Amino acid sequence: MLFVVLLLFLAVLIWWWTFKFLHPRGFPPGPRLSLPLLGDSLTLGSNIVDGLDKLRIKYGDVVGFYLGPMRAVLISDMAMIQEACTKEEMMDRPMFLPEFRKYLLKNGDLPGIGFSNGINWTEQRRFTLHKLKDFGFGKANLEQVIEDQAELLCQHLRKLSDNEQLVSICNIFEISIINALWQVLTSETIALDDPRIIKINTLLGQFEDVGASPLGFLAQIVPTAAKLADQLGIVKLSIIFNSMEDVCMGAIQSHKADFELGDIPRDFIDAYLQHQAQPESGASFQGEEGISNLVAIMLDLFAAGSTTISLTLTWAVLLLANRPELQKLLREDIHEVTGANRLISYSERTKVPLVEAFILEVQRKANVAPLSLFRQANKDCYFKGYFIPKGTVILPNIGRALNNPEVFENPEEFKPERHIKDGKFSPSPNGIPFGVGKRRCLGETLAKAELFIYVTRLLHHFDIKPENNQPIREIPIPTALSKPYPFKLKLVKRV
């Protein structure tokens, strides 16, 4: 009898495993012995980016596998990424840790932009993009805000580098970038040591550390593991999310208290509250759902818009420190426009092709979003003749595409001139650090302005030199985040 029960149990287990973890006919090639829940995690190892590259080398540009319990497809060829990311069927995002969020939509979906789908995503993205594109509303002119923050940061760096002190550059940009965003969202000008900004920075840092650790990564893709790790206090995702949500909600409450709907909006929150009050604004803006969306948008902007920029800037100064000749050429490019007696403005960017080419090459090298943001198939579909079932997670391997030798000659070399043709900035259609299609980076305009303004301000204020004139390592720490090893700089004041 016991034998029969065991046999039955085994049969059910095999049926469940086959049903759940074997791929359907026509699915892209890849590993075929995935474990329940863990999927192919053991094959991938602790550094997901390296692990996935091994799969690409073994199986090609379209690989089917299991990312934890999720059926997934990795796409590594640039043209294929462009095709996949512009397909309507691959426009969605998968759920991302909903169990740790206080504010969800009534149907349990995630609010905001980065991880929302359907009409909610369309309405919220359109509104936010429109307001950011305005380049500032009311008093908070976006370019001015960024210029002020960049100048504040340079003044701070000037103090730090007094008496030829070496300056540790890691984590130096974060607070400044978060502050610029805070100002756009809330129109508050606050000190770099304001406790709310420090809190947001600390929480974002903790979130990144969680994401970069193997356990944290597992927690993100196996919700049960995440809950358990959270309850045991190993991975404090609920505290991180809830504290961030509280900071954002605090700002919304104070705006609700002191903003009259008929007034001119001072900032993004005012504009949102005003839009919400219009009956024709769209269902996703109404009532509590609207406020959940606003909290989530603030969270999305902080999460997507701070580390990406600060890490790119950290790589920019590292690469500059190792290249005094390039610094000279960049300054010459700028001085031709300004006559060397004023700062260059963002609106003049098309006149300085080398600066634009330098920034794009830094982005290629920094590779801060190597797997873009995951997409998800919203219906059964075919891609390059392969069958992709509904719900499959799509990983656009942007990092590989930006380092593909068939597209970028000697990709390991840092060569801004590869983006210049006949003396003009000529970005390759393959340089897509911001992704492609309707879901491409919402902060692209803001990001480009921030990178331009910070880089040109730093070049204006300082000759950037490495510690002891020794070249700094130009390789990232081997984790999923593309962070350089900690380094120090000698910042010699030029003005």
| Chain residues in the site for ligand HEM (CB under 6 A) | 85, 113-114, 125, 181, 300-301, 304-305, 308-309, 312, 368-369, 372-373, 433-437, 439-443, 446-447
**What are the residues whose beta carbons fall under 8 Å from the beta carbon of 434, sequence distance 6 or more?**
440, 441, 444, 447
Q: Which residues of 157-191 are buried (b: 16+ CB within 10 A; e: fewer)?
A: beeebeeeebbebbebbbbbbbbbbbbbbbbbeee
Instruction: Give me the phi and psi of 253, to 5 degrees please.
Output: -60, -45
Sign, CA torsion 376/392/296/218: negative
384: helix, coil or strand?
Answer: coil
Binding residues for heme: 441
For the CB of residue 312, give the shortest distance to ligand HEM in the complex, in Å: 5
Indicate the residue among 161 and 284 with the shorter CB distance to ligand HEM: 284
Rg (CA), the chain: 24
Q: Nearest distance from residue 377's CB to ligand HEM, in Å?
A: 14
Whichever of 38 and 204 has its CB closer to ligand HEM, that residue is: 204
Angstrom distance (rounded) from CA 465 to CA 198: 28
For residues 197 and 179, what is the distance between their CA atoms, to the nearest angstrom?
Answer: 7
Q: How far is the CB of 122 from ligand HEM (least distance, A)?
A: 9
- State which residue, 337 or 407, has the beta carbon closest to ligand HEM: 407
378 and 390 Cβ atoms separated by less than 8 Å: yes
From 214, 179, 177, select the one nearest 41 (Cα to Cα).
214
In whole angstroms, the minimum distance from the beta carbon of 393 to ligand HEM comes to 12
Smallest gap from residue 36 Cβ to ligand HEM (A): 29
Residue 116 or 479 with smaller CB distance to ligand HEM: 116
How far apart are CB 225 and ligand HEM at their closest, in Å?
25
CB of 420 to ligand HEM, least distance (A): 20
Give the nearest distance from C-beta 174 to ligand HEM in angstroms.
13
Nearest residue to 281 via CA among 300, 261, 301: 261
Question: What is the spatial distance between Cα 117 and Cα 111, in angstroms, rounded to a whole number?
Answer: 9
CB of 372 to ligand HEM, least distance (A): 4
In the complex, which residue's CB is closest to ligand HEM?
443
Q: 336-365: buried (b, 16+ CB within 10 Å) or exposed (e) per residue?
A: eebeeeeebebeebeebbbbbbbbbbbbbb
132 close to 142: Cβ distance less than 8 angstroms: yes
First-last CA distance in the chain: 89
Instruction: For ligand HEM, give the closer residue by CB, 444 or 474.
Output: 444
Contact (CB, 8 A) for 152 and 192: yes
Which is nearer to ligand HEM, 27 or 452 (by Cβ)? 452
Tell me whether residue 183 or residue 308 sits nearer to ligand HEM (CB atom): 308
Calculate the alpha carbon distances from 407 to 11, 306, 429, 493 in Å. 50, 29, 10, 39
Give binding residues as ranges: 441
- CB-wise, 21 or 268, nearer to ligand HEM? 268
Q: Which residues of 457-488 are buried (b: 16+ CB within 10 A; e: fewer)?
A: bbbbbbbbbbeeeeebeeebeebbbbbbeebb
* Closer residue to ligand HEM in complex, CB, 85/344: 85
Reading the block at residue 85, the tokens are 């990311």
